[in-house]
Structure 1
């Protein structure tokens, strides 16, 4: 059973990034009444209905975790499969986990890899999605506009550290 969220809580839905819980609602699906969270994802201008039970909705990271994720962007690349389709699946699984550090690792590894190799269309799309999720969470936690959070990510990727 997942954690309980209240209106105003900052959350991350792995496939869309950071958002805010705007309320709850009950819906009847196949004769069963279930509770859903309404989550507004501001950078997509989208409101999602996320099942309260069984979803991988999680609270936004704390400042220490954001620092750790930004720091990770400047570290050495970790081993990835050499075959592009295996690499794609490997990185998509990390994003699906919803964990901030896993997403940051994908951003770092694919960003560094792309400097020396062409990324497949799927890998480019995975990198863009991972960046969007990472940037949206940094922006939400630090109360920044998306372009500011994007600059922090770019600086960290260049080895400029996590300082904002």
Structure 2
């Protein structure tokens, strides 16, 4: 099930940071009617529209809770670093995919 947000909620948009959900708009594009979340990025004041149907694919996510923060910290503190893919090109693509998920645990694994 797709993550859902309400107007006024805070969310994290990958590569942009924390954003506020300003509203929900319905737009017609190429003959198709779609509903969009309208976001305002807190750092840049940039406005972004995210199709509600694609929220999970673009990695828009809720702010993290204490449990996920603990998991991220445990990942960063882990003593052993395992390089899953010796080929740098494939490893790079896998890292980019992990970063684009928007999951802090995935990003922490890339950082390690």
1:73 aligns with one of 71, 76, 101: 76
Distance 1:77 1:18 in 2: 29
Structure 1, gaps ≥5 residues long: 109-164
User: Cα distance, 1:91 vs. partner?
Assistant: 0.4
Structure with the higher fraction of residues in strand conformation: 2
Distance 2:73 2:40 in 1: 25
Structure 2, gaps ≥5 residues long: none
TM-score (norm 2): 0.81
Distance 2:20 2:29 in 1: 24
Contact 2:19 2:40 in 1 (8 A): yes
Distance 1:17 1:106 in 2: 18
Structure with the higher fraction of residues in helix conformation: 1
TM-score (norm 1): 0.58
Give the root-mean-square deviation of aligned CA atoms: 1.8
Contact 2:3 2:55 in 1 (8 A): no
- 1:8 corresponds to which residue? 8
